[in-house]
Amino acid sequence: MRRDAYVYHITSWDEHRPSSPTLSYPMDSSSLVLALIAVALPVLLHLLTRPNKPRRPAAAKLLPPGSLGLPVIGQSLSLLRAMRANTAERWIQDRIHRYGPVSKLSLFGAPTVLLTGPAANKFIFFSSALALQQPRSVQRILGDESILDLMGADHKRVRGALAEFLKPDMLRLYVGKIDGEVRRHLDERWAGQRAVTVMPLMKRLTFDIISLLLFGLERSPLQDALAADFAGVMDGMWAVPVNLPFTAFSRSLRASARARRLIAGIARETRAKLHSGEASRSSDLIACLLSLTDHTGAPLLSDKEIVDNSMVALIAGHDTSSILMTFMVRHLANDPDTLAAMVQEHEEIAKSKGDGEALDWEDLAKMKYTWRVALETLRLVPPIFGNFRRATQDVEFDGYLIPKGWQVFWAASVTHMDTGIFHEPAKFDPSRFENQSAPPCSFVAFGGGPRICVGMEFARIETLVTMHYLVRGFRWKLCSKNDTFARDPMPSPLHGLPIELEQKGSP
Ligand code: HEM
Protein backbone atom coordinates (compact mmCIF):
# COMPACT_ATOMS: atom_id res chain seq x y z
CA MET A 1 0.00 0.00 0.00
CA ARG A 2 0.31 1.12 -0.94
CA ARG A 3 2.43 1.74 0.82
CA ASP A 4 2.58 4.88 -1.14
CA ALA A 5 1.77 6.27 2.12
CA TYR A 6 4.71 5.22 3.83
CA VAL A 7 7.29 6.72 1.61
CA TYR A 8 9.27 9.82 1.55
CA HIS A 9 10.98 10.61 -1.64
CA ILE A 10 13.08 12.98 -3.60
CA THR A 11 11.46 14.09 -6.75
CA SER A 12 12.74 16.94 -8.79
CA TRP A 13 12.11 20.45 -7.58
CA ASP A 14 10.58 20.99 -10.95
CA GLU A 15 8.13 18.17 -11.58
CA HIS A 16 8.84 18.25 -15.33
CA ARG A 17 12.56 17.66 -15.03
CA PRO A 18 13.21 14.13 -16.33
CA SER A 19 15.41 12.37 -13.79
CA SER A 20 14.48 12.74 -10.17
CA PRO A 21 16.02 10.42 -7.66
CA THR A 22 14.03 9.08 -4.79
CA LEU A 23 15.30 8.82 -1.27
CA SER A 24 13.72 6.70 1.30
CA TYR A 25 14.26 3.87 3.73
CA PRO A 26 15.98 1.73 4.76
CA MET A 27 19.08 3.80 5.36
CA ASP A 28 21.58 1.00 5.86
CA SER A 29 25.22 1.74 5.12
CA SER A 30 25.11 0.96 1.38
CA SER A 31 21.87 2.88 1.09
CA LEU A 32 23.45 5.77 2.93
CA VAL A 33 26.25 6.07 0.38
CA LEU A 34 23.72 5.92 -2.44
CA ALA A 35 21.50 8.34 -0.60
CA LEU A 36 24.34 10.82 -0.35
CA ILE A 37 24.96 10.44 -4.07
CA ALA A 38 21.26 10.77 -4.70
CA VAL A 39 21.13 13.92 -2.61
CA ALA A 40 24.40 15.49 -3.78
CA LEU A 41 23.79 15.07 -7.50
CA PRO A 42 20.49 16.89 -7.61
CA VAL A 43 21.89 19.64 -5.37
CA LEU A 44 24.65 20.24 -7.93
CA LEU A 45 22.22 19.99 -10.81
CA HIS A 46 19.87 22.32 -9.08
CA LEU A 47 22.57 24.90 -8.45
CA LEU A 48 23.80 24.67 -12.03
CA THR A 49 20.41 24.76 -13.66
CA ARG A 50 18.54 26.99 -11.22
CA PRO A 51 16.24 29.16 -13.28
CA ASN A 52 16.83 32.88 -13.02
CA LYS A 53 13.24 33.81 -13.00
CA PRO A 54 12.08 35.37 -9.74
CA ARG A 55 9.60 33.61 -7.51
CA ARG A 56 6.03 34.54 -8.11
CA PRO A 57 5.82 37.76 -6.08
CA ALA A 58 2.06 37.74 -5.69
CA ALA A 59 2.03 34.17 -4.47
CA ALA A 60 5.06 34.54 -2.18
CA LYS A 61 3.33 36.69 0.36
CA LEU A 62 0.52 34.17 0.68
CA LEU A 63 2.73 31.16 1.15
CA PRO A 64 2.65 29.51 4.58
CA PRO A 65 5.38 30.40 7.09
CA GLY A 66 8.51 28.26 7.32
CA SER A 67 11.65 27.73 5.32
CA LEU A 68 12.34 25.49 2.35
CA GLY A 69 15.84 24.90 3.71
CA LEU A 70 18.71 23.83 1.48
CA PRO A 71 17.79 23.13 -2.14
CA VAL A 72 16.68 19.54 -2.72
CA ILE A 73 17.72 18.30 0.72
CA GLY A 74 15.41 20.64 2.58
CA GLN A 75 14.30 19.04 5.84
CA SER A 76 14.29 15.45 4.48
CA LEU A 77 17.26 14.01 6.32
CA SER A 78 16.19 15.59 9.58
CA LEU A 79 12.69 14.05 9.28
CA LEU A 80 14.14 10.67 8.27
CA ARG A 81 16.40 10.70 11.34
CA ALA A 82 13.46 11.57 13.56
CA MET A 83 11.38 8.73 12.06
CA ARG A 84 14.16 6.27 12.77
CA ALA A 85 14.54 7.52 16.33
CA ASN A 86 10.77 7.45 16.77
CA THR A 87 10.72 11.17 17.54
CA ALA A 88 8.92 12.25 14.37
CA GLU A 89 5.81 13.33 16.32
CA ARG A 90 7.99 15.69 18.39
CA TRP A 91 9.71 16.86 15.20
CA ILE A 92 6.36 17.90 13.77
CA GLN A 93 5.16 19.40 17.07
CA ASP A 94 8.29 21.57 17.17
CA ARG A 95 7.41 22.92 13.73
CA ILE A 96 3.84 23.59 14.83
CA HIS A 97 5.12 25.54 17.86
CA ARG A 98 7.42 27.54 15.61
CA TYR A 99 5.14 28.19 12.62
CA GLY A 100 1.60 27.11 13.49
CA PRO A 101 -0.47 24.25 12.03
CA VAL A 102 0.23 25.23 8.40
CA SER A 103 3.87 25.56 7.39
CA LYS A 104 6.07 25.17 4.37
CA LEU A 105 9.19 23.05 4.16
CA SER A 106 10.93 20.94 1.59
CA LEU A 107 10.67 17.16 1.73
CA PHE A 108 12.41 14.79 -0.62
CA GLY A 109 13.14 17.33 -3.26
CA ALA A 110 9.80 19.05 -3.51
CA PRO A 111 8.38 22.10 -1.78
CA THR A 112 5.81 20.85 0.67
CA VAL A 113 3.09 22.22 2.91
CA LEU A 114 2.63 20.40 6.20
CA LEU A 115 -0.97 20.49 7.34
CA THR A 116 -2.19 19.23 10.70
CA GLY A 117 -5.50 18.92 12.51
CA PRO A 118 -8.99 17.66 11.59
CA ALA A 119 -9.89 20.60 9.30
CA ALA A 120 -6.64 20.11 7.40
CA ASN A 121 -7.25 16.35 7.19
CA LYS A 122 -10.72 17.00 5.78
CA PHE A 123 -9.26 19.34 3.18
CA ILE A 124 -6.58 16.78 2.21
CA PHE A 125 -8.95 13.84 1.99
CA PHE A 126 -11.72 15.61 0.11
CA SER A 127 -10.15 18.37 -2.02
CA SER A 128 -10.38 17.67 -5.75
CA ALA A 129 -7.31 19.91 -6.22
CA LEU A 130 -5.08 17.34 -4.48
CA ALA A 131 -3.98 14.01 -6.00
CA LEU A 132 -2.36 11.07 -4.24
CA GLN A 133 1.39 11.44 -4.66
CA GLN A 134 2.98 8.22 -5.73
CA PRO A 135 6.78 8.06 -5.69
CA ARG A 136 8.26 6.85 -8.96
CA SER A 137 10.21 4.07 -7.20
CA VAL A 138 7.02 2.55 -5.80
CA GLN A 139 5.26 3.02 -9.11
CA ARG A 140 8.02 1.15 -10.91
CA ILE A 141 7.87 -1.72 -8.46
CA LEU A 142 4.10 -2.03 -8.13
CA GLY A 143 3.06 -1.03 -11.63
CA ASP A 144 1.64 2.22 -12.96
CA GLU A 145 -1.99 1.16 -13.30
CA SER A 146 -2.73 0.48 -9.66
CA ILE A 147 -5.41 2.25 -7.66
CA LEU A 148 -2.67 4.38 -6.12
CA ASP A 149 -1.84 5.95 -9.45
CA LEU A 150 -5.32 6.43 -10.81
CA MET A 151 -7.46 9.51 -10.48
CA GLY A 152 -11.05 10.52 -11.17
CA ALA A 153 -13.21 8.05 -13.09
CA ASP A 154 -10.42 5.45 -13.38
CA HIS A 155 -9.81 5.53 -9.62
CA LYS A 156 -13.55 5.12 -9.03
CA ARG A 157 -13.74 2.18 -11.46
CA VAL A 158 -10.82 0.25 -9.94
CA ARG A 159 -11.81 1.12 -6.37
CA GLY A 160 -15.32 -0.09 -7.15
CA ALA A 161 -13.88 -3.40 -8.40
CA LEU A 162 -11.80 -3.91 -5.24
CA ALA A 163 -14.75 -2.86 -3.07
CA GLU A 164 -16.86 -5.52 -4.80
CA PHE A 165 -14.49 -8.14 -3.39
CA LEU A 166 -14.38 -6.46 0.03
CA LYS A 167 -18.09 -5.72 0.54
CA PRO A 168 -19.84 -7.12 3.65
CA ASP A 169 -21.68 -10.04 2.04
CA MET A 170 -18.40 -11.21 0.48
CA LEU A 171 -16.47 -10.64 3.74
CA ARG A 172 -18.92 -12.90 5.55
CA LEU A 173 -17.73 -15.74 3.33
CA TYR A 174 -14.09 -15.20 4.29
CA VAL A 175 -14.43 -15.52 8.07
CA GLY A 176 -14.26 -19.32 8.02
CA LYS A 177 -11.21 -19.34 5.74
CA ILE A 178 -9.42 -16.77 7.92
CA ASP A 179 -10.33 -18.79 11.02
CA GLY A 180 -8.74 -21.92 9.51
CA GLU A 181 -5.58 -20.06 8.52
CA VAL A 182 -5.14 -18.46 11.96
CA ARG A 183 -5.57 -21.78 13.77
CA ARG A 184 -3.14 -23.52 11.46
CA HIS A 185 -0.53 -20.83 12.09
CA LEU A 186 -0.93 -20.87 15.84
CA ASP A 187 -0.74 -24.68 15.90
CA GLU A 188 2.33 -24.83 13.69
CA ARG A 189 4.31 -21.75 14.71
CA TRP A 190 3.24 -20.76 18.25
CA ALA A 191 2.03 -23.88 20.06
CA GLY A 192 4.78 -25.66 21.99
CA GLN A 193 7.25 -22.75 21.63
CA ARG A 194 8.79 -21.12 24.68
CA ALA A 195 9.73 -17.98 22.78
CA VAL A 196 8.73 -16.49 19.45
CA THR A 197 9.39 -13.27 17.55
CA VAL A 198 6.03 -11.72 16.89
CA MET A 199 6.50 -9.39 13.92
CA PRO A 200 7.76 -11.93 11.32
CA LEU A 201 5.12 -14.43 12.45
CA MET A 202 2.35 -11.86 12.05
CA LYS A 203 3.69 -10.86 8.65
CA ARG A 204 3.61 -14.44 7.41
CA LEU A 205 0.17 -15.03 8.92
CA THR A 206 -1.36 -11.97 7.23
CA PHE A 207 0.47 -12.83 3.98
CA ASP A 208 -0.97 -16.34 3.99
CA ILE A 209 -4.46 -15.03 4.75
CA ILE A 210 -4.41 -12.43 2.01
CA SER A 211 -2.85 -14.71 -0.60
CA LEU A 212 -5.50 -17.34 0.16
CA LEU A 213 -8.27 -14.81 -0.34
CA LEU A 214 -6.78 -12.94 -3.27
CA PHE A 215 -5.56 -15.91 -5.28
CA GLY A 216 -7.03 -18.96 -3.61
CA LEU A 217 -3.47 -20.01 -2.76
CA GLU A 218 -3.35 -22.80 -0.20
CA ARG A 219 -0.10 -23.84 1.42
CA SER A 220 2.11 -24.77 -1.52
CA PRO A 221 5.54 -24.16 -3.05
CA LEU A 222 3.83 -21.48 -5.17
CA GLN A 223 2.69 -19.64 -2.04
CA ASP A 224 6.21 -19.91 -0.57
CA ALA A 225 7.68 -18.55 -3.82
CA LEU A 226 5.28 -15.64 -3.80
CA ALA A 227 6.02 -14.93 -0.11
CA ALA A 228 9.76 -14.91 -0.84
CA ASP A 229 9.27 -12.59 -3.81
CA PHE A 230 7.14 -10.23 -1.79
CA ALA A 231 9.71 -10.08 0.99
CA GLY A 232 12.19 -9.09 -1.74
CA VAL A 233 9.77 -6.51 -3.14
CA MET A 234 9.38 -4.92 0.30
CA ASP A 235 13.11 -4.87 1.02
CA GLY A 236 13.88 -2.48 -1.79
CA MET A 237 10.69 -0.51 -2.04
CA TRP A 238 11.91 2.23 0.28
CA ALA A 239 15.54 2.09 -0.80
CA VAL A 240 17.32 4.60 -3.01
CA PRO A 241 16.01 3.87 -6.53
CA VAL A 242 19.32 3.22 -8.22
CA ASN A 243 18.89 0.31 -10.57
CA LEU A 244 22.34 -1.28 -10.45
CA PRO A 245 22.77 -5.05 -10.03
CA PHE A 246 23.86 -4.86 -6.36
CA THR A 247 21.27 -2.37 -5.08
CA ALA A 248 18.23 -3.20 -2.95
CA PHE A 249 16.08 -1.32 -5.46
CA SER A 250 17.23 -3.50 -8.32
CA ARG A 251 16.64 -6.68 -6.28
CA SER A 252 13.19 -5.37 -5.49
CA LEU A 253 12.47 -4.78 -9.20
CA ARG A 254 13.55 -8.33 -10.02
CA ALA A 255 11.42 -9.78 -7.22
CA SER A 256 8.50 -7.68 -8.42
CA ALA A 257 8.92 -8.99 -11.99
CA ARG A 258 8.85 -12.60 -10.69
CA ALA A 259 5.79 -11.92 -8.51
CA ARG A 260 4.00 -10.28 -11.45
CA ARG A 261 4.69 -13.33 -13.64
CA LEU A 262 3.28 -15.61 -10.92
CA ILE A 263 0.18 -13.47 -10.56
CA ALA A 264 -0.33 -13.30 -14.34
CA GLY A 265 -0.08 -17.11 -14.43
CA ILE A 266 -2.63 -17.43 -11.62
CA ALA A 267 -4.94 -15.06 -13.55
CA ARG A 268 -4.66 -17.24 -16.68
CA GLU A 269 -5.53 -20.37 -14.72
CA THR A 270 -8.41 -18.65 -12.95
CA ARG A 271 -9.83 -17.43 -16.27
CA ALA A 272 -9.82 -21.01 -17.54
CA LYS A 273 -11.50 -22.20 -14.33
CA LEU A 274 -14.18 -19.52 -14.66
CA HIS A 275 -14.88 -20.75 -18.22
CA SER A 276 -15.11 -24.37 -17.12
CA GLY A 277 -17.24 -23.53 -14.08
CA GLU A 278 -14.58 -24.70 -11.60
CA ALA A 279 -14.41 -21.16 -10.15
CA SER A 280 -16.99 -18.47 -9.56
CA ARG A 281 -16.89 -14.74 -8.96
CA SER A 282 -16.75 -15.26 -5.19
CA SER A 283 -13.83 -17.73 -5.30
CA ASP A 284 -11.12 -15.09 -4.79
CA LEU A 285 -10.12 -11.56 -5.79
CA ILE A 286 -8.69 -12.57 -9.16
CA ALA A 287 -11.87 -14.46 -10.03
CA CYS A 288 -13.92 -11.48 -8.91
CA LEU A 289 -11.90 -8.96 -10.95
CA LEU A 290 -11.93 -11.20 -14.04
CA SER A 291 -15.72 -11.55 -13.81
CA LEU A 292 -16.54 -7.86 -13.65
CA THR A 293 -17.76 -6.23 -16.86
CA ASP A 294 -18.81 -2.71 -17.80
CA HIS A 295 -22.20 -1.74 -19.28
CA THR A 296 -21.11 -2.94 -22.74
CA GLY A 297 -20.14 -6.35 -21.41
CA ALA A 298 -16.38 -5.67 -21.86
CA PRO A 299 -13.98 -6.56 -19.01
CA LEU A 300 -14.02 -3.80 -16.39
CA LEU A 301 -10.27 -4.12 -15.75
CA SER A 302 -7.47 -4.84 -18.21
CA ASP A 303 -5.11 -7.76 -17.53
CA LYS A 304 -2.39 -5.30 -16.49
CA GLU A 305 -4.75 -3.50 -14.11
CA ILE A 306 -5.60 -6.86 -12.54
CA VAL A 307 -1.92 -7.67 -11.94
CA ASP A 308 -1.02 -4.15 -10.71
CA ASN A 309 -3.94 -4.00 -8.33
CA SER A 310 -3.34 -7.51 -7.03
CA MET A 311 0.22 -6.42 -6.22
CA VAL A 312 -1.10 -3.43 -4.27
CA ALA A 313 -3.80 -5.44 -2.50
CA LEU A 314 -1.25 -8.06 -1.47
CA ILE A 315 1.10 -5.48 0.03
CA ALA A 316 -1.58 -3.22 1.50
CA GLY A 317 -3.46 -6.23 2.76
CA HIS A 318 -0.78 -7.74 4.92
CA ASP A 319 1.84 -5.24 6.03
CA THR A 320 -0.39 -2.82 7.93
CA SER A 321 -2.55 -5.46 9.65
CA SER A 322 0.51 -7.38 10.81
CA ILE A 323 1.79 -4.18 12.46
CA LEU A 324 -1.52 -3.63 14.22
CA MET A 325 -1.53 -7.17 15.63
CA THR A 326 2.13 -7.00 16.65
CA PHE A 327 1.55 -3.76 18.56
CA MET A 328 -1.55 -5.20 20.23
CA VAL A 329 0.54 -8.13 21.49
CA ARG A 330 3.18 -5.65 22.67
CA HIS A 331 0.66 -3.52 24.53
CA LEU A 332 -1.23 -6.43 26.11
CA ALA A 333 1.98 -7.81 27.58
CA ASN A 334 2.05 -4.84 29.96
CA ASP A 335 -1.64 -4.13 30.47
CA PRO A 336 -3.21 -6.99 32.47
CA ASP A 337 -6.56 -5.21 32.91
CA THR A 338 -7.14 -4.76 29.20
CA LEU A 339 -5.97 -8.31 28.55
CA ALA A 340 -8.33 -9.71 31.20
CA ALA A 341 -11.28 -7.83 29.69
CA MET A 342 -10.43 -9.21 26.27
CA VAL A 343 -10.05 -12.76 27.57
CA GLN A 344 -13.46 -12.47 29.19
CA GLU A 345 -15.05 -11.27 25.94
CA HIS A 346 -13.55 -14.15 23.98
CA GLU A 347 -14.29 -16.84 26.57
CA GLU A 348 -17.92 -15.68 26.55
CA ILE A 349 -18.06 -16.11 22.77
CA ALA A 350 -16.29 -19.49 22.93
CA LYS A 351 -18.98 -20.81 25.30
CA SER A 352 -21.52 -20.72 22.48
CA LYS A 353 -19.27 -22.62 20.06
CA GLY A 354 -18.92 -26.35 19.62
CA ASP A 355 -15.51 -28.02 19.96
CA GLY A 356 -13.35 -26.86 17.05
CA GLU A 357 -16.21 -24.90 15.49
CA ALA A 358 -15.02 -21.93 13.42
CA LEU A 359 -15.91 -18.35 14.27
CA ASP A 360 -18.55 -16.68 12.11
CA TRP A 361 -19.69 -13.17 11.21
CA GLU A 362 -22.08 -12.99 14.18
CA ASP A 363 -19.26 -13.86 16.61
CA LEU A 364 -17.17 -10.99 15.25
CA ALA A 365 -20.00 -8.55 15.91
CA LYS A 366 -19.71 -9.47 19.61
CA MET A 367 -16.00 -8.58 19.81
CA LYS A 368 -16.67 -4.92 20.47
CA TYR A 369 -14.16 -4.44 23.26
CA THR A 370 -11.36 -6.10 21.27
CA TRP A 371 -12.01 -3.82 18.31
CA ARG A 372 -11.82 -0.79 20.62
CA VAL A 373 -8.44 -2.06 21.83
CA ALA A 374 -7.37 -2.32 18.19
CA LEU A 375 -8.57 1.22 17.43
CA GLU A 376 -6.75 2.59 20.46
CA THR A 377 -3.59 0.77 19.34
CA LEU A 378 -3.98 2.33 15.88
CA ARG A 379 -4.48 5.74 17.44
CA LEU A 380 -1.24 5.51 19.40
CA VAL A 381 0.80 3.71 16.74
CA PRO A 382 -0.76 4.35 13.32
CA PRO A 383 0.98 1.99 10.87
CA ILE A 384 0.89 4.78 8.31
CA PHE A 385 2.56 7.80 9.81
CA GLY A 386 1.27 10.13 7.10
CA ASN A 387 1.15 10.54 3.38
CA PHE A 388 1.64 12.95 0.53
CA ARG A 389 -0.70 14.59 -1.90
CA ARG A 390 0.23 16.83 -4.83
CA ALA A 391 -1.62 20.04 -5.72
CA THR A 392 -2.93 19.69 -9.28
CA GLN A 393 -3.74 23.42 -9.33
CA ASP A 394 -3.13 26.46 -7.12
CA VAL A 395 -5.29 25.94 -4.07
CA GLU A 396 -5.82 27.77 -0.78
CA PHE A 397 -6.08 26.46 2.75
CA ASP A 398 -6.60 28.58 5.85
CA GLY A 399 -5.71 31.74 3.93
CA TYR A 400 -2.45 30.32 2.57
CA LEU A 401 -1.64 29.47 -1.02
CA ILE A 402 -0.49 25.98 -1.95
CA PRO A 403 0.93 26.41 -5.45
CA LYS A 404 0.29 23.88 -8.21
CA GLY A 405 2.87 21.06 -8.15
CA TRP A 406 3.69 21.42 -4.44
CA GLN A 407 3.34 18.48 -2.12
CA VAL A 408 1.00 18.41 0.84
CA PHE A 409 1.88 16.17 3.77
CA TRP A 410 -0.52 14.93 6.43
CA ALA A 411 0.56 13.17 9.62
CA ALA A 412 -1.92 11.00 11.51
CA SER A 413 -0.23 11.08 14.93
CA VAL A 414 -0.44 14.83 15.37
CA THR A 415 -4.23 14.70 15.25
CA HIS A 416 -4.32 11.50 17.30
CA MET A 417 -2.34 13.18 20.09
CA ASP A 418 -4.36 16.41 20.11
CA THR A 419 -5.57 17.08 23.68
CA GLY A 420 -8.51 19.06 22.28
CA ILE A 421 -9.84 15.87 20.66
CA PHE A 422 -8.56 12.99 22.77
CA HIS A 423 -8.50 13.50 26.55
CA GLU A 424 -5.11 12.49 28.00
CA PRO A 425 -3.95 11.35 24.56
CA ALA A 426 -0.84 9.51 25.78
CA LYS A 427 -2.99 7.19 27.91
CA PHE A 428 -4.11 3.84 26.45
CA ASP A 429 -7.86 3.98 26.92
CA PRO A 430 -10.04 1.84 24.64
CA SER A 431 -13.17 3.28 26.27
CA ARG A 432 -12.68 6.50 24.29
CA PHE A 433 -14.09 4.60 21.29
CA GLU A 434 -17.15 3.47 23.27
CA ASN A 435 -20.51 4.77 22.05
CA GLN A 436 -19.23 8.04 20.65
CA SER A 437 -17.00 7.91 17.64
CA ALA A 438 -14.24 10.46 17.22
CA PRO A 439 -15.20 13.73 15.46
CA PRO A 440 -14.85 13.63 11.65
CA CYS A 441 -11.28 13.41 10.33
CA SER A 442 -9.73 13.21 13.81
CA PHE A 443 -9.14 9.43 13.90
CA VAL A 444 -7.32 8.94 10.61
CA ALA A 445 -5.43 5.66 10.93
CA PHE A 446 -7.38 4.47 7.87
CA GLY A 447 -7.27 7.84 6.10
CA GLY A 448 -10.55 9.42 5.01
CA GLY A 449 -12.69 10.57 2.09
CA PRO A 450 -12.78 8.85 -1.30
CA ARG A 451 -9.43 7.18 -0.65
CA ILE A 452 -10.21 5.86 2.82
CA CYS A 453 -8.73 2.40 3.27
CA VAL A 454 -10.77 0.01 1.18
CA GLY A 455 -9.55 -2.96 3.27
CA MET A 456 -10.57 -1.59 6.69
CA GLU A 457 -13.26 -4.21 7.34
CA PHE A 458 -10.99 -6.97 6.10
CA ALA A 459 -8.33 -5.80 8.58
CA ARG A 460 -10.96 -5.85 11.33
CA ILE A 461 -11.89 -9.46 10.61
CA GLU A 462 -8.36 -10.84 10.56
CA THR A 463 -7.39 -8.89 13.68
CA LEU A 464 -10.41 -10.07 15.68
CA VAL A 465 -10.05 -13.70 14.64
CA THR A 466 -6.32 -13.73 15.45
CA MET A 467 -6.81 -12.06 18.83
CA HIS A 468 -9.59 -14.52 19.71
CA TYR A 469 -7.29 -17.53 19.44
CA LEU A 470 -4.23 -15.75 20.78
CA VAL A 471 -5.65 -14.47 24.08
CA ARG A 472 -7.52 -17.72 24.73
CA GLY A 473 -4.59 -19.95 23.90
CA PHE A 474 -1.51 -18.18 25.23
CA ARG A 475 0.13 -16.00 27.89
CA TRP A 476 3.21 -13.99 27.04
CA LYS A 477 5.87 -11.62 28.37
CA LEU A 478 8.15 -9.27 26.46
CA CYS A 479 11.72 -10.56 26.35
CA SER A 480 13.22 -7.10 26.49
CA LYS A 481 12.51 -4.33 28.97
CA ASN A 482 13.35 -1.91 26.20
CA ASP A 483 10.20 -1.96 24.12
CA THR A 484 10.94 1.02 21.88
CA PHE A 485 10.25 0.99 18.17
CA ALA A 486 11.50 2.73 15.06
CA ARG A 487 9.66 3.88 11.98
CA ASP A 488 11.34 2.26 9.05
CA PRO A 489 9.12 3.83 7.64
CA MET A 490 6.44 1.54 9.10
CA PRO A 491 6.59 1.10 12.88
CA SER A 492 8.80 -1.78 13.77
CA PRO A 493 9.45 -2.91 17.37
CA LEU A 494 12.97 -3.57 18.55
CA HIS A 495 14.25 -6.92 17.17
CA GLY A 496 10.78 -7.77 15.83
CA LEU A 497 9.30 -8.12 19.34
CA PRO A 498 10.61 -11.35 20.89
CA ILE A 499 8.27 -12.70 23.59
CA GLU A 500 8.34 -15.56 26.08
CA LEU A 501 5.34 -17.75 25.44
CA GLU A 502 3.28 -20.08 27.57
CA GLN A 503 0.45 -22.15 26.17
CA LYS A 504 -2.62 -22.08 28.38
CA GLY A 505 -3.61 -25.43 29.73
CA SER A 506 -0.18 -26.97 29.15
CA PRO A 507 1.80 -28.15 32.19
C1 HEM B 1 -4.67 -2.06 10.08
C2 HEM B 1 -4.68 -2.21 8.79
C3 HEM B 1 -4.67 -1.09 7.77
C4 HEM B 1 -4.37 0.25 7.92
C5 HEM B 1 -3.96 0.99 9.20
C6 HEM B 1 -4.54 0.87 6.62
C7 HEM B 1 -4.37 2.23 6.37
C8 HEM B 1 -4.65 2.86 5.16
C9 HEM B 1 -4.60 4.28 4.94
C10 HEM B 1 -4.20 5.35 5.97
C11 HEM B 1 -4.96 4.51 3.65
C12 HEM B 1 -5.13 5.87 2.98
C13 HEM B 1 -3.83 6.51 2.53
C14 HEM B 1 -4.08 7.92 2.01
O15 HEM B 1 -5.21 8.36 1.79
O16 HEM B 1 -3.09 8.64 1.84
C17 HEM B 1 -5.20 3.21 3.03
C18 HEM B 1 -5.56 3.00 1.72
C19 HEM B 1 -5.69 1.75 1.14
N20 HEM B 1 -5.72 0.53 1.78
FE21 HEM B 1 -5.40 0.23 3.75
N22 HEM B 1 -4.90 -0.10 5.71
C23 HEM B 1 -5.01 -1.30 6.37
C24 HEM B 1 -5.39 -2.53 5.82
C25 HEM B 1 -5.67 -2.75 4.50
C26 HEM B 1 -6.05 -4.03 3.93
C27 HEM B 1 -6.24 -5.33 4.73
C28 HEM B 1 -6.20 -3.83 2.57
C29 HEM B 1 -6.61 -4.82 1.49
C30 HEM B 1 -7.25 -5.93 1.70
C31 HEM B 1 -5.93 -2.43 2.31
C32 HEM B 1 -5.98 -1.83 1.07
C33 HEM B 1 -5.87 -0.46 0.85
C34 HEM B 1 -5.97 0.14 -0.48
C35 HEM B 1 -6.15 -0.61 -1.81
C36 HEM B 1 -5.86 1.53 -0.29
C37 HEM B 1 -5.92 2.62 -1.38
C38 HEM B 1 -7.34 3.13 -1.49
C39 HEM B 1 -7.50 4.22 -2.54
O40 HEM B 1 -6.51 4.86 -2.92
O41 HEM B 1 -8.66 4.43 -2.94
N42 HEM B 1 -5.61 -1.82 3.50
N43 HEM B 1 -5.01 2.21 3.99
In a domain, 372, yes or no: yes
d(CA 498, CA 505): 22
Nearest CA to ligand 1 atom 3: 320
Of 131-140, 272-281, 307-316, 406-415, the range with the lowest mean pLDDT is: 131-140
| pLDDT of 13 strictly over 80 | no
pLDDT at 239 over 70: no
Q: Which residues are annotated as a binding site for heme?
A: 453
Looking at ligand 1, which residue's alpha carbon is closest to its atom 21? 453
User: Residue 85: inside a domain, yes or no?
Assistant: yes
Q: Of the candidates 405, 426, 444, which is a domain's last residue?
A: 444
Confidence of residue 57 (pLDDT cuts 50, 70, 90): very low
Q: Angle between the 221-237 and 198-215 helix axes, to the nearest 10 degrees?
A: 120
Spatial separation of the C-alpha atoms in residues 363 and 353, rounded to whole Å:
9
Task: Compute the Cα dihedral for 126, 121, 77, 234 and give only its sign.
Answer: negative
Q: What is the pLDDT of residue 437?
A: 72
Mean pLDDT across the stretch 489-503? 93
pLDDT band at residue 14 using 50, 70 and 90 as cut-offs: very low
Q: What is the CATH number of the domain that holds 159?
A: 1.10.630.10
Q: Does one domain contain both 348 and 419?
A: no
Residue 40 lies in a domain: no
| Residues 379 and 251 both lie in one domain | yes
Higher pLDDT, 136 or 442: 442
120 and 222 assigned to the same domain: no
Do both 338 and 409 map to the same domain?
no
Do the domain assignments include residue 423? yes
pLDDT tens digits along 407-417: 999 999 999 99
Domain assignment of residue 117, given as a range: 63-145+385-444
Task: Say what the pLDDT of residue 27 is.
Answer: 38
Q: Is residue 19 part of a domain?
A: no
Q: Is the pLDDT of residue 121 over 50?
A: yes
Q: What is the pLDDT of residue 455?
A: 94
Does 188 map to a domain?
yes
Query: From start to end of 221-268, where are the E strands?
Result: none
Same structural domain for residues 396 and 339?
A: no
464 Cβ neighbours under 8 A, 6+ residues apart: 364, 367, 370, 371, 374
In 142-281, the DSSP E strands lie at 195-197
**241 pLDDT band (50/70/90 cuts)?**
low
Per-residue pLDDT, averaged over 151-166, amounts to 92
Please, what is the average pLDDT of the chain? 85
Q: Give the domain CATH number at 431.
A: 3.30.43.20
In the chain, % of residues over pLDDT 90: 61
**Residue 1 Cα to ligand 1 middle (Å):** 6
Q: Say if residue 263's pLDDT is above 80.
A: yes
Same domain, 132 and 177: no
Say if residue 18 is preceded by a cis peptide, omega within 30 of 0.
no
Domain final position from 424, 444, 464: 444
Residue 141 belongs to some domain of the structure: yes
Task: Tell me: pLDDT of 400 over 70.
Answer: yes
Where does a domain end: 395, 417, 444? 444
Residue-level pLDDT at 16: 28
Answer yes or no: do 321 and 432 share one domain: no
Ligand 1 binding pocket mutation candidate from 202, 320, 464 (most atoms within 8 A of CB): 320
**Quick one: pLDDT at residue 506?**
54
Binding-site residues, in ranges, read 453
Shared domain check, 472 and 359: yes
Q: What is the total count of domains within the chain?
A: 2
Q: How much distance in Å is there from the Cα of 317 to the middle of ligand 1?
A: 8
pLDDT tens-digit series, residues 172-191: 989 999 999 999 999 999 99
Residues 292, 316 share a domain: yes
My answer on whether 371 and 423 are in the same domain is no
- What stretches of 176-290 adopt beta strand conformation (E)? 195-197
* Comparison of pLDDT for 223 and 54, the residue scoring more: 223
If you average pLDDT over residues 342-369, what whole number do you get? Answer: 96
Distance between Cα 451 and ligand 1 center (Å): 8
Asked if 179 contacts 464 with a C-beta cutoff of 8 angstroms, the reply is no
238 & 377 share domain: yes
Q: Are 251 and 157 contained in the same domain?
A: yes
Q: Report which listed range, 66-80, 106-120, 452-466, is most confident.
A: 452-466
Determine, yes or no, domain membership for 34: no
Q: Which residue has the higher pLDDT, 412 or 140?
A: 412
